[in-house]
Amino acid sequence: MLTTQKRQIKALIELLAKESGQQAVFLRQELSRIMKQEAQALHEVIEQDFHSSVPAALVHNMEEVCWEDLTQEIEAFSSKINPSLEEALSIVTRFVNPAVKAEEVTQDLDKLTRALRPLSIQSANTAELLKSMTHFFLSIENFMVVPSARDIKEVSFGRFLQKKIGSSLCLACLYVLCAERFGLETGVVDLAGKLLVCMRLNDTGELLFADPMANGRILTAEDCRNYIDSRNLEWNEAFLSPLSSRTLLRRFLGNMIFILNKLKDERRLTYLRRYMDILKISF
């Protein structure tokens, strides 16, 4: 039997599909409040009364309430001197699936790191650990990289952790966030369009790289220079400088924009372009 609280939520959901104008604005404000203050009750009503056919109006309004909130979160993210990559990936995840909470991404990463820890203990040095991470991600956990993302779900980091399939950028960030949990100096570099994971070796101070698009193939700095030479490009030391979390967030959003432009999905594009403008202003 529905409580008074849940009956009111159900009534709100039914009204969202019917009302327009100022009344619709009021209903959306109330939905925003419920999503923040009564999230569990909302979830239960959806599961019990609408699980077989969730109204499109509810889905759209919940998405847009979340996307409006993400605008404020990106503004806060951009104002920080050194915002975390994990925070950036939480934003990416919740744009694709507003139902996901930021702490869920952290919990999934912590779980993977705990499972990886025995291999890290067995690794004699940082180079061996990087190889162990590749083996763990690709052969034990069976993460897969798609050659070219065609759906924004494939560039959602949270979904990547759950479904274990997504873009090379998702896999590169997975390396970085797990390595950071072991206290290692790591990052993602852009080698003239090729994204690599970089890790500084504790024993020698040299950089070592893993290529997410080549089954985690390990590369040295010399391999990177040879790759640039093979493309007849001029070497630049900036190639080996890790990308900032702001830049990586822009990469994720840019990938989504590229995909949604093809689909002519102006509803989502409006928000993504707004986010990109905020990030540009922050530089």
Residue-wise pLDDT for 125-135, tens only, equals 888 999 999 99
Percent of the chain whose pLDDT exceeds 90: 63
Is the domain spanning 85-246 CATH 3.10.620? The answer is yes
Percent of the chain whose pLDDT exceeds 70: 98
Degrees to nearest 5, angle at CA 174 with 75 and 140: 155
**CATH 3.10.620: which residues of the chain?**
85-246
Q: How far apart are CA 140 and CA 236, in angstroms?
A: 36
Q: Which amino acid is at 190?
A: D
| Contact status, residue 157 vs residue 95, Cβ threshold 8 Å | no
Q: Report pLDDT digits (tens) over 164-182.
A: 999 999 999 999 999 999 9
Task: Give the pLDDT confidence score for residue 2 in this predicted structure.
Answer: 58
Q: Report pLDDT digits (tens) over 48-73.
A: 877 768 888 888 888 899 999 999 99
| Contact status, residue 71 vs residue 278, Cβ threshold 8 Å | yes
- Within the chain, strands assigned E span 144-145, 165-166, 186-191, 194-200, 207-211, 217-220
| Residue of 124 and 195 predicted with greater confidence | 195
194-200 and 207-211 strand pairing = antiparallel
| Residue of 27 and 281 predicted with greater confidence | 27
212: DSSP letter: G
pTM: 0.88
Task: Give the pLDDT confidence score for residue 282 in this predicted structure.
Answer: 56
